[in-house]
Amino acid sequence: MKEGQEKIYYVTAVSFNPGKNSPHLEIFRKKGIEVLLLSNRVDEWVVGNLAEFDGKSLVSVAKGGLDLGKLEDEAEKAAVEKETGELKDLLEKMKGSLEGKVKEVRITHRLTDSPACLVADEHDMGMNLARMMKAAGQNIPLSKPILEINPSHPVVLRLKYEEAQFADWAAVLFDQALLAEGGTLDDPATFVKRINQLMLVMNSN
């Protein structure tokens, strides 16, 4: 652990590669903070019942807000607050466009390469565990994820000025984020259709 690190971070996934390539890890790679990659089915129940180890709390990188404690850059925190204010209209417009799919849309600096990612609210069930329980035929509480967007990514910057294709761009961002964290699409055909339409529009420009 890095000096000053107060928590043990982990990510759960259906297999090793999705965990290793999770967009939730981007800021941790940038800062050189190690994250446990947990891809065994039993891991979800282990971390659900193991709150801490050796005095350090275990924290999922895919739940709640990003909290790096003493390792957090104050400038980054200030930038998130500033950009949240500047992009308030965009965040509300995206939330409206994705109504029924997301609980909230917010700015994040956990992403360095990806345009967006999905996280579970602090007290909601993790999305990987929810998928596992659903596949096992269990009834699970209905909860919507939070869509976090990278304010410096070109796709997000384009959305600031997009009008005609805004709903399609927002839907594609959501679906991409869902796929990146190991989820499956309810309607893959519509996703492909949207991608094709947006590619044609971009080529015509």
DSSP secondary structure letter of residue 49: H
- Domains of the chain, by residue range, sit at 7-204
Long-range contacts of range 128-132, CB-CB < 8 Å, 24 or more positions apart?
128/12, 128/13, 128/14, 128/44, 128/62, 128/181, 128/182, 129/12, 129/44, 129/48, 131/14, 131/182, 131/183, 131/184, 132/41, 132/44
pLDDT of the residue at 14: 81
CATH number, span 7-204 = 1.20.120.790
pLDDT of the residue at 66: 80
Q: Which mean pLDDT values do the consecutive 10-residue runs of the chain (205 residues) have?
A: 89 87 92 91 83 90 82 77 88 94 92 93 76 73 88 90 90 93 87 90 69
Closest C-alpha to 26, from 183, 160, 180: 180
pLDDT of the residue at 142: 73
**C-beta neighbour count of 33 within 10 angstroms:** 17
pLDDT of the residue at 94: 95
pLDDT of the residue at 204: 64
**C-beta neighbour count of 62 within 10 angstroms:** 24
